[in-house]
Structure 1
Amino acid sequence: MNKRLLYVSLLIISCIIIFSQCIHKQPGEDNKDLRGEQFAGSAACMGCHKRIYDSYLSTGHYKTSGPASQALIKGSFVNPHNVFSYGNGTKVVMEARDSGLFQVAYGDSVLQELHRFDISVGSGRKAQTFLSWRNGKYFQLPLSYFIPAHSWANSPGFPPSYPKFDRVIPSTCFGCHSSAVGIKSVSMEGLQLSEEFEKNQLVYGIDCERCHGPAAEHVAFHTTHPQEKAAMHITKIGGLKKQQQLDMCALCHSGLGTPQKPAFEFKPGDALSDYFFPDFTRPERAAEVDVHGKQYQLFTASKCFIKSDKMTCSSCHDPHNNERNRLQAFSQRCMSCHQPEGPAFCKMTSLPAAVLSKNCIDCHMPALPSRNITMLTEGQTSPTPDSMRTHLITVYREETKAFMAALKK
């Protein structure tokens, strides 16, 4: 058996195992939470953790998916900013109708098809893409919204010459953009896996219990024992081993691996290797890894990580707060190891240490273009790559030159 056939066979077998275990909700069930009675739902956390909860509502984790609405969607529904024209003469118009929001395809001014915006995916910092539910399946709509260009754009990987409305979205995509999705049935159609979803059965965003584990018992205990300050019946993140903490983040920030179990079943403390087959990216080839999606591989190939016994994602990131673009705050965390008076500090001595310590990030973790995520806006002949900060912490000479030149102006 050649390697390609082996990999295909493993993928098919793992998919059958996974989707037979995905979240099903039978008619007549009335759990408070889609995931079952052991889950309390994020709203239950608010009573004791209101400050943290309120702050979390502004994070990318919370905003990574939601019910599509004009308040949530960044793109315009007003002419002429709501029109995208294709090379074959077809145009798609974003329309707000009495019955909802739609992407509507017209050919020679004749309506060809229309599909509802049901779910928005993406925090809205870089881009948003949209799903439409019909006949038990979710389909990605052909147009996404590209924030840097302030424009509707062809969804990544979609044909540039005509609108495609039939790209099916599997439950694996929801594994990192939601906290649960309800699946009515799973079947194999030839070699293709076919899923039927329950409409409106979704726990949006990455909620508290995706990272902290099921909390119903924790909530019940502390409701009846308000005097108890030690957290009971909940996973203490700080009490996990270093690799366990890393695996929690790597579940969604290590790219699309070949699954063994549903991502929704992962609990804090679990081993990522029990859920995905190994990634064989070698640290010495980390510079070849795309900046989108594989932050774990890039981070763990960095000298900062390799030389540290305790460094994890949480060493730099506070998942309860939106710290986007707070470069000085991140740089101060670099200072915990790279003190200005120490040998590990920046060697660019032409500027004062007080200036350099305000921004380590643009030199050592610059925003680089993604090869995998590109957006074609109307009128373009070639797509524009999305850019993301690389998590391979090292020296980027060209970016450093540009940064230093800007400081000296």
Structure 2
Amino acid sequence: MNKRMLWVASGIISLIALLSQCITQPAQDLRGPAYAGANTCISCHQDIYNHYLQTTHFKTSSTNVLGTFPGSFTYDDSTRVEMVVTDSGKVQGGHLFHLAVGSGRHAQTYLYWNNENYYQLPVSYYVSAGHWANSPGFPNSHPKFDRQIPSTCFGCHSSAIGIKSVAMVGRGLKETFEKGKIIYGIDCERCHGPAAEHVAYHTAHPEEKKPMHMTAVRSLGNQQQLDMCALCHSGLKTPQKSLFDYQPGDAYDDYFFPDISGPSRPEQLDIHGTQYQLFTASQCFKKSRQMNCTTCHDPHQNEANNMVAFSKKCMQCHQQQPSPACKFDKMAVLNCVDCHMPQLPSSKIVLSGTYYLRTHLIGIYKQ
């Protein structure tokens, strides 16, 4: 009897140990064992992480719908679409808002799920204007509900997406997705690379202050740093391989064919801006040897509308004094941006009034 009880007790202990491992074992990152997940960064980088939660990169995809309800938009053919809230969450002939794409600084567009795919809704919410309007790239003449969203879009609006299958159909790829398998926003490891080895090392060696098994962005060459941002800030293009494959130091040309078109005309500005092309066409960039996106932008901070901070960065090169030709010398140190990187009207977006987007072509504009 004692022997039997010993076996039973041993079995129970083994089962408890097995179950405890299942409970405490963290779920593997969707990207694989080389990735640690952004939550692991908190213990050593608490302040940076907290500030990053407020940035547009972190908020670029979520389930947080910012659009106002009820709302509506009327197309040129007089078709009216309405955004409503119901107790059941379902409306006959309607679609649910399954996923919000866009940080909400300028706009949000929305996806619905159907038959193992995501589709974009034909209207988006333009936060700065407070209006619903046609989604980027959609006609304003009539609504369309059949735009299927490929993984390439998620490559700049998420950190990972669960792809169920990929098949060549005709000349294009047909993808299916796993519902709910997504890492929202652009997390730490999209720019800094997979961190599992880094986390494991510093957990075992907390006294070590030098970051091990991690690429420091500042250690990259200037063009490599520019390419990191250009990957998602150079307009809509078809990549030659998945943007999820990006590792710090990779070249832009490894993912896209060289761009010889130059920056788009001001009236062609839309939400998918060609910031890289506009910036590198600017005289400020051409006359500087080491200017890149982080010269003006801190990717770990929410800098929206902080014109004084941006102007101070201008003055780092302009020696604390505006140009002698500047007619607004008394206010220049407070706001260089609105004159030299103005918000310009866009013909791509249809609203009840003109919609403006800020250009990254730094220059002298007629007032």
Aligned residue among 72, 80, 96 for 1:83: 72
1:120 aligns with 2:100: yes
5 Å-filtered alignment, 1:52-131, equals 52-67=48-63, 72-78=64-70, 82-86=71-75, 90-100=79-89, 104=91, 111=92, 113-131=93-111
Residue 370 in structure 1 maps to residue 346 in structure 2: yes
How far does residue 356 in structure 1 lie from its aligned partner after superposition?
1.8
What code does the residue aligned with 1:338 have?
H
1:394 aligns with 2:363: yes
Distance (Å, rounded) in 2 between the aligned partners of 1:157 and 1:385: 17
Aligned in 2, Cα 1:66/1:171: closer, same or farther, shift over 3 Å?
same
Q: Secondary structure at the match of 2:85?
A: strand
In the alignment, the residues of structure 1 paired with residue 278 and residue 77 of structure 2 have an alpha-carbon distance, to the nearest angstrom, of: 41
What CA deviation, in whole Å up to 9, does each residue of 1:60-103 have, x standing for no partner? Answer: 00111112xxxx2222224xxx2344566654332333444x6x
Quote how far apart the aligned CAs of 1:256 are.
2.2
- 2:215 aligned with 1:196: no
Whole-angstrom CA distance in 1 between matches of 2:35 and 2:304: 30
**SS in structure 2 at match of 1:257:** coil
Structure 1 match to 2:202: 222
User: Which residue of the partner structure matches residue 25 of structure 1?
Assistant: none
Give the C-alpha shift of residue 261 in structure 1. Answer: 1.2
Give the Cα–Cα distance (whole angstroms) in 2 for the partners of residues 290 and 347 of structure 1: 32
2:334 counterpart (358, 383, 390): 358
Query: Aligned partners of 2:264 and 2:256: how far apart in 1?
Result: 20
Could you give the per-residue CA deviations for residues 363-405 of structure 1, whole angstroms, max 9, x where no partner exists?
Answer: 1111112344x134xxx5xxx564222111110122xxxxxxx
Q: Percent identity?
A: 56
**What amino acid sits opposite 2:161 in the alignment?**
V
Report the counterpart of residue 288 of structure 2 in structure 1: 308
CA pair 39-385 structure 1, distance change in 2 beyond 3 A = farther
**Shift of the alpha carbon at 1:207?**
0.8
CA gap 1:289/1:91 in 2 versus in 1, 3 angstroms = closer
Structure 1 unaligned blocks of 5 or more: 1-29, 105-110, 399-409
Name the residue aligned to 2:23.
none
Q: Does 1:138 align with 2:118?
A: yes
Code of the aligned partner of 1:328: V
Amino acid at match of 2:214: I
1:299–1:305 contact (8 Å) kept in structure 2 = yes
Deviations 1:3-36 (A, max 9, x none): xxxxxxxxxxxxxxxxxxxxxxxxxxx9521111
Q: 1:276 to 1:31 in 2, by over 3 A?
A: farther
Kept in 1: contact 2:264–2:274 (CA 8 A): no
Q: Is the alpha carbon distance of 1:34 and 1:303 closer, same or farther for their aligned partners in structure 2, counting shifts above 3 Å? A: same
Aligned-pair CA distance for 1:280: 0.6
Offset from partner CA, 1:191-244 (integer Å, 9 cap, x none): 342111110111111111111111111111111111111111111111000011
Structure 2 equivalent of residue 32 of structure 1: 28
Distance 2:120 2:202 in 1: 42
Equivalent residue of 1:332, what SS? helix
2:249 maps to which residue?
269
The alignment partner of 2:119 has SS state of strand
Q: State whether residues 86 and 163 of structure 1, in contact with CA within 8 Å, keep that contact through their aligned partners in structure 2.
A: yes
Q: Is the 8 A contact 1:291 1:370 kept in 2?
A: yes
| Structure 1 residues 88 and 273, CA gap change in structure 2 (3 angstroms) | closer
1:346 pairs, out of 308, 323, 326, with 323
CA separation of 1:289/1:175 partners in 2, compared to 1, >3 Å: closer, same or farther? Answer: farther
Aligned residue pair count: 340
Q: Counterpart of 1:179 in 2: which secondary structure? A: strand
Q: Secondary structure at the match of 1:328?
A: helix
Question: Counterpart amino acid of 2:360?
Answer: H
**190, 193, 198: which one pairs with 1:213?**
193
Alpha-carbon distance between aligned partners in 2 of 1:329 and 1:227, rounded to the nearest angstrom: 35
Larger radius of gyration: 2
Is the 8 Å Cα contact of residues 257 and 277 (structure 1) preserved in structure 2?
no
Alpha-carbon distance between aligned partners in 1 of 2:166 and 2:53, rounded to the nearest angstrom: 33
SS of 1:336 mapped into structure 2 = helix
1:203 alignment partner, SS class: strand
Q: Which amino acid aligns with 1:143?
A: V
Q: Which residue of 2 aligns with 1:149?
A: 129
1:316-335 → structure 2 map (5 Å cutoff): 316-335=296-315
User: Are the counterparts in 1 of residues 129 and 355 from structure 2 also a CA contact under 8 Å?
Assistant: no
**Matched residues in 2 for 1:88 and 1:388: separation?**
27
Task: Give per-residue Cα distances to partners, 1:107-156, cap 9 Å, x unaligned.
Answer: xxxx4x12111100111111111000110111001221122332222223
- Which consecutive residues of structure 2, in runs of 5 or more, have no partner in the other structure? 1-25
Contact 1:248 1:268 in 2 (8 A): yes
